[in-house]
Structure 1
Amino acid sequence: MPCATHLTTVTSIPDTKQRVALPRRLAVLSFCADTITKAPAMPYNWTTAPTAPIQELHLWPHQSLPARGMAAFVLTTFTLLLIPTLPLLGTRLLWWLLPFILLAVWGVYFALQHNYRTRQITEVLTLSGDTARLIRTNPKGDTQAWECNRYWTQVTKYEKDGPVPHYVTLKGMGREVEIGAFLSEDERIALYDELNRALRR
């Protein structure tokens, strides 16, 4: 099974009730329309123009829960765990339960922090006149690099035979390295097409 090397307005209505309810309905409809029509941004970005002599592509994993969201989630968890203990205020039983509550909150925080840290990955692909260079920065800060003549670089997509569906790799100089393996399946398909176009320019 091929597997690449990991990189080194409201109109007024007479009825008062309708006049109050209509804006709310419009607000809900507007929110739903925005949610449907606004596609989420891709977790990769070409930082240069397509016609620029040097092109640079940045890729990063999805971060569905940013740092602020994580803090809010932990605080909400702590609050929800405390609510059942309110009748126990002033009793010894509360002090017996408190360490277990704190332990549960710490466990949630630790799991979220670990997931956040492990997704601190960036990949930067640079295409210059005759060189293709890929640099990957891992969660611990170490980097891995791959470089090849761009005219010899091959973009391959393994639809079923890779670690993930539509697994995209770059091949050249006797090495095959993965790129954007952390992206979603549709994003990897789009990435494959974009890389082929970019390398042919």
Structure 2
Amino acid sequence: MPVRWIQEPQKAPATSGAFSHARGAPPYAALRLWPHRSLPKTGFAMFIGTTAVLLAVPTLPLLGTPVFWGILPFLVAAGAAIWLGLMRSYRDGELIEEVSLWSDRLSIVRHNPRHPDQTWEANPHWVRIALHPERARIRNYITLSGGNREVELGAFLSPEERAALYDDLDRLLRQVPR
């Protein structure tokens, strides 16, 4: 699952009576989400190499003929399209969502690969988390609402991963030290 707890949730001291984070203190819990990488870098190199060989094999009998020069631009265009498509996929996969939870603040920062970062903050005591089993085309869609906005979380995860994430976040929000 492309979810990593950066800091495990910690319990509040039972005898303190209050649990508040000072500015600059580490969060109560932190979470990092990212999209799946179905093709690692080594697989990328093997795929490009195999594609180049498969494009070259049928053209070997045409070497030295005028037909080869007619087909060559299309072969190069096909290889370039595959290369560019995979590189675009890798750039889109650089998307990261970071969730940080303090006793007085919940913060979500979305690092977009080609756009500026997006941030959202709310008081965790007023945040409502919702799991929408069937919302448009996305199953188990997670939204957080608080303040004056509603934001989505983990839209790039699988439905099962979103359901597990919802359970974790719901439990965590219920355990926020008061």
Aligned partner of 1:47 in structure 2 is 6
SS in 2 for 1:165: strand
Larger radius of gyration between Structure 1 and Structure 2: 1
1:61 aligns with 2:35: yes
1:139 aligns with 2:113: yes
Q: Tell me the percent identity.
A: 44
Residue deviations 1:24-59 (CA, integer Å, cap 9, x gap): xxxxxxxxxxxxxxxxxx111111122266210000
1:13-92 pair list within 5 angstroms: 42-51=1-10, 54-92=28-66
Q: TM-score scaled to structure 2, two decimals?
A: 0.83
For the aligned residue pairs, the C-alpha RMSD in angstroms reads: 1.7
Q: Which has the higher helix share?
A: 1
Structure 2: unaligned runs, 5 residues or longer: 12-26
Q: Which moved more, 1:161-170 or 1:53-62?
A: 161-170
Residue deviations 1:151-199 (CA, integer Å, cap 9, x gap): 1111101111355111101111121100001100000100100001111
Residue deviations 1:116-159 (CA, integer Å, cap 9, x gap): 22232100000012111000011215101110111111110111
Structure 1: unaligned runs, 5 residues or longer: 1-41
Q: Which has the higher strand share?
A: 2
SS in 2 for 1:63: coil
**Structure 2 vs 1, CA of residues 148 and 163 (structure 1 numbering), >3 Å: closer, same or farther?**
farther
Provide the C-alpha distance between the structure 2 equivalents of 1:101 and 1:172, rounded to a whole number of angstroms: 53
1:46-195 pair list within 5 angstroms: 46-51=5-10, 54-195=28-169
Q: TM-score scaled to structure 1, two decimals?
A: 0.74
The answer to whether the 8 A contact 1:78-1:101 is kept is no
Provide the C-alpha distance between the structure 2 equivalents of 1:87 and 1:62, rounded to a whole number of angstroms: 41
SS in 2 for 1:160: strand
Q: Which moved more, 1:57-66 or 1:95-104?
A: 95-104
